[in-house]
Amino acid sequence: MDTLVFDVAHLLAGGLLLLSFVQLYQDRLYALLNTFAAHAFALALSVAWQAFIQDAPHLYVTAGIALVFKAIVIPVALHRIIQQLGIHREIEPVVGIGKTMLAGIGLVALSMVVMLRVTAEADPLAREDLAFSLAVILLGLLLMVSRRNAVSQIVGFMSLENGLVLAATGAKGMPLVVEISVAFSILIAFIVIGIFLFRIRERFDTVDVHALDRHRGEGGTA
């Protein structure tokens, strides 16, 4: 029974890592948003399971915040903003998707090595959860760095924050987890609103659908 409990925790953390890779794989904006919603949903499940194992009811609140806010509200809001502002919906990677995923594997290996060496004497379940969390954080950063689209950078930042929440809930008895996650969520909301409300789209590489006008007339039949 014990090992099954830990296995499920590992499986959920691994699922989060897998969804980070799936985010790296996407090249369309709506698909990225859907994947991010799944990512947040997996985080909610993982935090809820941790709450169940550690018998810490305040973590259920964190899970609820993750579920409602990040899995439902933010993706829907971003969806509507993208539609209204006409942001073009293809994400151009800086280096190809294959190379990005190869870099992702390298980052996972790095985080495994670092975490498993640094925390050599801690509880095994916590160590591996921390390793997965660090990997999710690094993959979120990779997503931010390797895409030219502003929305994908926001999504990368949010998945990075998901990794932080995972790390925080994995370590038993970390205080104020709920408060910290509420604070982070408000921060993200302000960033999202700020970016789009004040139309700082010029600061990023390409956000506007009018950029496609340059390529009008190219291309042939399918």
Q: Summarize as ranges the residues that interact with another protein (CB under 8 A).
A: 3-4, 7-8, 10-11, 13-15, 17-18, 21, 25, 96-99, 101-102, 104-105, 108-109, 112-113, 116-117, 124, 128, 222
Which one, 111 or 169, has the nearer CB to another protein? 111
CB of 187 to another protein, least distance (A): 30
The residue whose two tokens read 């930042």 is 157
Residues facing residue 90 across a β-bridge: 28
CB of 66 to another protein, least distance (A): 21
CB of 78 to another protein, least distance (A): 24
Residues facing residue 147 across a β-bridge: 93
Long-range contacts of 70-76 (CB under 8 A, 24+ apart): 70/36, 70/37, 70/40, 70/43, 70/158, 70/162, 70/185, 71/37, 71/38, 71/40, 71/41, 71/44, 72/37, 74/40, 74/158, 74/188, 74/189, 74/192, 75/33, 75/34, 75/36, 75/37, 75/40
Q: Tell me the two tokens of residue 66.
A: 């993750």
Which one, 213 or 218, has the nearer CB to another protein? 218
Which one, 107 or 177, has the nearer CB to another protein? 107
Which one, 19 or 178, has the nearer CB to another protein? 19
Which one, 112 or 180, has the nearer CB to another protein? 112
CB of 14 to another protein, least distance (A): 3
